[in-house]
Structure 1
Amino acid sequence: MNNRAAAFLGVLLLSALLATVPIRTVHSSPPHTIPPIVTTEWLNTHLGMENLVVIDIRSPEDYNASHIPGAINVPSYLWYTNPPFGMEVPWMEMPPEDYLFKLLGNNSITEDSLVVVVGSTSGILTPVPLALYNTATVTRVAMTLLYAGVKNVAILDGGFDKWVADGYPTESGAVTPTPVTYSGTIKSDMLVDKQYVASKIGEAIIIDARDLEVYLGFIQEPWCARVGHIPTARSFPTPWLWNLNINATDGTVIYGTYKNTGILKAFADCIVGTNKSMEIIVYCGVGGYASTMYFVLSEVLNYTNVKVYDGSAQEWTSDFTLPVVYEDLGYDFMQLQDDYNQLQSDYENLQNSYTQLQNNVTQLQSTIAQLQSSYTQLQNSYNQLQSNYTYLRNSYTQLQRDYTDLKAKCDELTNLMYIFIATTIIFVISTVYLAIKIRKKG
């Protein structure tokens, strides 16, 4: 195995360790009035907070059916612009300033508002990971609010799905916002273009927030013209930031939440580095995952010089004058995939054998239970027979005693009868003798 393959395996092992080993939570202290990631408990407690605006970015149909009390519906598709499909790239770009300011003002948002963005974090994972895209869309809106100059922007951890799962109150129907005039300041230095990125190769830390297989060039996303990544870019897959609550029945995501700050910091320290002022440029496929990486690095972990290449890999790979690189790990990856498939097959065989053994044990336990029941019945029958035998034996003994007593009495009566008969005979003989004797004298 070559060095790059070993490095690839090292990254995988590191991610597994960081995801399973408990890490002490590090509490950051960003200059926010509200935390950048709020829990459902926090939001439920602070719903009446002054200047709080809850923005629900789900579809109008889902919002009208049920939403957090007081939340205003501003669907996600209003927060970015797309060119006509198939006509040009890139997609998911920042809207014009005048449009954005009007959108904010029409929905009661000022630069001093405390905005909590609520979306969906549920959905399928295959064949398209809609649950992950939904979760990333929440930070896309949050990043747009920060870009527009809103000072305090937070996202609801777990989204509306976790709010419902935690049993907090909801309401239906639309909430009508009170229009205001928005007059924030655009953070134009947040976004960079492809020329800027090209000039920073080898200088800035470039973070590729796509899945590792895409970064390595094993998979080509449909919106990219080529496989691979920007030279010197480091892989930091956005899905590593999330914990997914999976439905065991159908494999869909019930809701997704962010890993604790300690784990996020450990990932960032290892991949990005500990220098919080170093220039960092993040990108992804079209701008969704990159927004999540930006939000975590800048708002949660307090890196102070984070920029977003909004055109991302879609724009970069479409410009064939710009370089891309990919890792020569195809053979090693396929070998690992084969080994994994073999292990998976062996595991399934062992699982089947284990299940069969469990069934056999269950059958044996059932047979033992039946035998135990039969034995108990036989034992009860034996005990009953023994009881009957004891009763009969006692009765027999009693009869024997009664017989002996009766026999003794019978013998005694027989003797008395013999004596009586003998006495009677003697009496009769004596009487006859005396009678004869008296007659002779007379």
Structure 2
Amino acid sequence: MTASSPFVSTEWLAANLSAPDLVIVDGSWHLPPSGRNGKAEFLERHIPGAVFFDIDAIADDSTGLPHMLPTPTAFAAAVGALGIGDGLRVVVYDGSGLFSAPRVWWTLKAFGVREVLILDGGMPKWVEEGRPTESGPAIRAPAVFSARLDRSIVADIAKVETAVAGSIIQVLDARPADRFAGTAPEPRPGISSGHIPGSLNLPFNRIVKDGHLVSPENVRAALLDVGLDLDRPVVTTCGSGVSAAILWVALESIGKMPLALYDGSWAEWASSGKPIASAP
């Protein structure tokens, strides 16, 4: 395995803020119980020149599931309106340091953006270092984006069922341990807690510290500690497909490319009458 870092430093971004081929994307999103609003925080303060990627709006709203991937046509129109065009480089950040930015990063990659990175430490590190910010709506000229969805890296419920039924593909869940075990409620009304039978649990906060991904050595140790076999394919999942992307970033950082991300994640599985396991 060859490790590759999906991150870029605040120093690098500060030096390249005015690069004409670079788009800075604020991908902030927060769980409903947090009381935080990513769009409102963006309007109050964001990195100069950034545009806001709303994962709840740039989504397929016909499924009843949260922030599912939209069609390529809808995605192309939405990101084109943000000024993200073909051939541009993208740096994504979020207001938590490292939470929702990986989901936006993965989504952009899935639809064909070749050069997309995550700002290490996100907005908290940028502000802590006293770097410039601005407020108000984004102002960027529309662009043309040619969306091509790589469906091979998107797991649907059928692919996950196949993984559960077999012994080759592993399912790795990023939710907190108590929700995985079924001893704490899910944040979304009407969704039972528990987990996909046979899946493994690596809560994302075990590998994210102070807004940064832990070292590759610690990522590897955490994965092995929960029983993941690095020689077998992995599908990442979580509550709604957001923190599953953190697991993706972590795996990629040690050179283990995941097979796919389960877009519907637990929100779909638990509401579809599928088997639910509980206890660790």
What's the TM-score once normalised by structure 2's chain length? Answer: 0.84
**Relative to 1, partners in 2 of residues 1:141 and 1:263: Cα closer, same or farther, differing over 3 Å?**
same
Report the Cα offset of residue 60 of structure 1. 4.7
Q: Aligned partners of 1:79 and 1:162: how far apart in 2?
A: 26
1:273 and 2:229 correspond = yes
- Greater relative contact order: 1 or 2 (C-alpha under 8 angstroms, separation 6 or more)? 2
**Relative to 1, partners in 2 of residues 1:178 and 1:89: Cα closer, same or farther, differing over 3 Å?**
closer
Report the Cα offset of residue 161 of structure 1. 2.1
**Relative to 1, partners in 2 of residues 1:145 and 1:261: Cα closer, same or farther, differing over 3 Å?**
same
1:270-314 CA-partner distances (Å, limit 9, x unpaired): 443332xx321111112221122123223x233234211111112
1:37 and 2:7 correspond = yes
Q: Match for 2:198: what amino acid? A: T
**Relative to 1, partners in 2 of residues 1:240 and 1:323: Cα closer, same or farther, differing over 3 Å?**
same
**Relative to 1, partners in 2 of residues 1:230 and 1:159: Cα closer, same or farther, differing over 3 Å?**
same
Instruction: Determine helix, strand or coil for the equivalent of 1:213.
Output: helix
Unmatched 5+ stretches in structure 1: 1-26, 123-134, 245-255, 330-442
Report the Cα offset of residue 50 of structure 1. 5.2
Q: Aligned partners of 2:174 and 2:251: how far apart in 1?
A: 12
Aligned residue-pair number: 267
**Relative to 1, partners in 2 of residues 1:262 and 1:308: Cα closer, same or farther, differing over 3 Å?**
same
Instruction: Determine helix, strand or coil for the equivalent of 1:206.
Output: strand
Q: Aligned partners of 2:249 and 2:20: how far apart in 1?
A: 24
State which structure, 1 or 2, has the greater radius of gyration over its C-alpha atoms: 1
Report the Cα offset of residue 94 of structure 1. 0.7
CA contact (8 A) 2:25 2:93 kept: yes
Q: Tell me the percent identity.
A: 27
Query: Which of 30, 34, 42 is residue 63 of structure 1 equivalent to?
Result: 42
**Relative to 1, partners in 2 of residues 1:233 and 1:111: Cα closer, same or farther, differing over 3 Å?**
farther
1:204 and 2:156 correspond = no
CA contact (8 A) 2:75 2:147 kept: no
**Relative to 1, partners in 2 of residues 1:173 and 1:264: Cα closer, same or farther, differing over 3 Å?**
same
Structure 2 match to 1:149? 112
Query: Which of 111, 115, 120 is residue 90 of structure 2 equivalent to?
Result: 115
Report the Cα offset of residue 98 of structure 1. 0.8
Report the Cα offset of residue 190 of structure 1. 1.3
**Relative to 1, partners in 2 of residues 1:232 and 1:304: Cα closer, same or farther, differing over 3 Å?**
same
Structure 1 match to 2:35? none
Q: How do 1:158-197 residues align onto structure 2 when only pairs under 5 Å count? A: 158-197=121-160
Unmatched 5+ stretches in structure 2: 29-37
CA contact (8 A) 2:83 2:140 kept: yes
Structure 2 match to 1:90? 65
Report the Cα offset of residue 316 of structure 1. 1.2
Structure 1 match to 2:208? 242
Structure 2 match to 1:51? 21
